[in-house]
A and B are shown apart, each in its own frame.
Chain A
Amino acid sequence: MVTAKDKLHEFLDDLRSTLDSEIDLEDIQFTDVFMGGMGGSAISANIVATCCSEYMSIPICVNRSPLVPNWVSKTTLSIISTYSGNTEETLEMYERVKAAGSPIIVITAGGKIKPMAEADGYPVLLVPTGFEPRYSAGYMIGYIAAIFAKIGYPEFKDRIMACIPSLENYRNYLEAPGSMAQLLAEKYGDCVPVLCTENKFKPVTLRWRAAFNENAKIICFETNLSEFIYAETTPWASYKGKRMRLIVMAGENDLYDGGLVKQAIQNIESLGFPFDLVALAGTSHEERVFRALILGDYLTVNIAEAAGIDPEVTTVISELKRRIRAKPI
């Protein structure tokens, strides 16, 4: 039986295995990219979009709604991701981008969308079945990197390839006793984490939030660093409870004296309430992002293990999906 820890260990292997995927796509000069999905699929898309905005000369839109903007057209590349292949909102979105004439690539493990896309003549990139959707991030991200390389933007893929050895070392360290993932698990097992970061790390906080929610069954919130400094410091300074715990996440390279992030952190320090700073190391933005993703996954699975919780069980989601499908629209 594949455990949550096995899947976390395989994340980088999944990523590596898909980066060089052959993509069967017409030679079109795309003007934009539209990536659609829900939950973990959308977070994977956000991770890629945030990294690529530094070097891609066409914009990427990540969409979490069944509704699709008017501008989606024949020169828009649409990437529709759903692990199960049965996510209702994503199926509706698929129909709408198809109606807009946009070339589509589907990333899925099967379900309804696979035969639909095949019948429509769109490429389908397959993710293996047999695990919880949130453990498919390595495949989702790797496939998107391969697609971007295919349409003339290999930078993301190249940067990922360059940092995989370092990320493997980091993963091995996190799996060892006494690692940061264990220390933080002991600290956060009994609190409500509030994740605070610059927007360029927002996909990471979304992923951490989902991992706290699903793996550890812990309520978690996230906020933006500049909004925090603008509006949230006073309530935090007067908060007398013990349960909410602020975790500020920042790239190590942004912590130089005089920089905006350093100033924001000094501002928080001056208010005197406890918080933790997670400084993300790495030689590129991609490496810092992936280190943070790996840390969040191990940390939350460690919390679940310590509490005797099965990180893979998400009963309410199954019930919700059952009810959504039970009532035909």
Chain B
Amino acid sequence: MSARPTKYLPENIRKAMNIEVAPQAKAIKICLYNFESSSIAADTVSSYAFVTSDAQIHTIVDRNVPAWINDSIDVIIMSYSGDSQEIDEVYNGAKRRTSRIHCITSGGKLKELCEQGDDDLILIPEGLSNSEATGYEIGVLVNLYEALGVDGIRAAMEEALPRIIEYRDSVWESDQARYIATRMKDKIPIIYCIGEMRAVHKRWKMLINQVPCRLAFSGELPEFDHNEIVSWTEDSDNKDFIILMFKTQSDSELLDHIVGTVTTLLPEYGLNMLVLELQGKLMERGIRGIVLADAVINCMTEVA
């Protein structure tokens, strides 16, 4: 499976939103297991649902199945390849506790287990790169959440997609993307954003690791502004790195004020830092961050 950035994330989301999902009973609590690159789709969609949904959503990247899973809980297992190492343990652990299991995959062991167990199976096309699969995973997860009673999520995505396409067209092979790629040259990128944008830093990190095969790391506020800035400002040997800091207009004025304060304070310490702004409502701004990652990493080979 090749790793390459994709220009067509929004189109893939749209195609996947046409994949039919069976009607479901309304969920009270959802436990979403996600592995490897599937965690990007999981975090994108779940961040939206975290604040807006009446159903409680837990995203888990682990092989342990919590004791609170029971037959009233919906468990979603999402793995594009279906062959992630943890699949057997997670599937069998969940199956012992609930019959409400939904699997999102292109095949592999997860598809087999799901068919044998007569669970809800949502198939996405085989043969995609992991980056291309993200759009499909986002689209079907939106459909599944809507079917499980997370109201408004499909409408939010439909509202966001035209603007995301417009944004993609403006950044793909753009001067902005080349500039960011140039700033990252010969540096180790460290990507920071607020927790609701977790999928964004994961996408950047994963693509930098897999496409130019370079080290990259990431982190989130509040750990960044509560702990990590101490070392960034006091460790004089910080010139190997470039900090990419995402700034958005979130749903909390306080959070926006904190991010704004951090982005003005740190350059005073001479840090190599690039502030990237993402516009739009919650669903839109998260996906814009992913689109920008693909556009920049697409330019990195050229810049290198």
Contacts and interface: CB of A to CB of B under 8 A. Distances in A.
Contacts of A32: 56
B166 interface: no
A329 B84 contact: no
Interface string A214-249: 101111110110110111101110110101100000
B66 A71 contact: no
Nearest to B229: A316
B302 interface: no
Nearest to B236: A217
A42 B64 CA distance: 21
Interface in A57-77: 57-59, 61, 64-71
Given A59-B68, A324-B258, A70 B214 contact: no
B257 interface: yes
A137 interface: no
A55 B251 CA distance: 35
B55 interface: yes
B66 A226 contact: no
Interface residues of B, number: 73
B148 to A, nearest CB: 13
A178 to B, nearest CB: 27
Interface string B225-266: 111111111110110110000000011111101100110010
A205 B26 CA distance: 37
Nearest to A230: B36
Contacts of A319: 265
Interface in B67-126: 67-68, 70, 84-86, 89
B228 A92 contact: no
B227 A210 contact: yes
B283 to A, nearest CB: 15
A13 interface: no
Interface in B258-287: 258, 261-262, 265, 269
A69 B56 contact: yes
A298 interface: no
Given A226-B84, A324-B261, A67 B51 contact: yes
Contacts of B262: 320
B222 interface: yes
Contacts of A156: none
A101 B84 CA distance: 41
A328 to B, nearest CB: 10
A315 B231 CA distance: 11
Interface stretch (B139-147, B205-213, B292-300): B205-213
Contacts, number: 189
A89 B85 contact: no
Q: Is the interface of B mostly helix, strand, loop or mixed?
A: mixed
A57 B238 CA distance: 45
Nearest to A190: B237
B295 to A, nearest CB: 19
Contact of A69 (B51, B61, B62, B217): B51
A234 B209 contact: yes
Contacts of A198: 62-63
A37 B205 CA distance: 26
A4 to B, nearest CB: 14
A220 B53 CA distance: 35
A226 B79 CA distance: 13
Given A38-B226, A230-B36, A199 B252 contact: no
A24 to B, nearest CB: 26
A244 to B, nearest CB: 7
- 7 tightest A-B CB contacts, nearest first: A39-B226, A221-B217, A217-B234, A199-B62, A210-B227, A53-B66, A213-B231
Given A39-B223, A323-B265, A329-B253, 9 more contacts: A39-B222, A42-B222, A59-B58, A65-B194, A66-B254, A217-B231, A226-B84, A226-B85, A329-B257
7 contacts: A39-B222, A57-B68, A64-B195, A66-B252, A227-B36, A231-B205, A235-B215
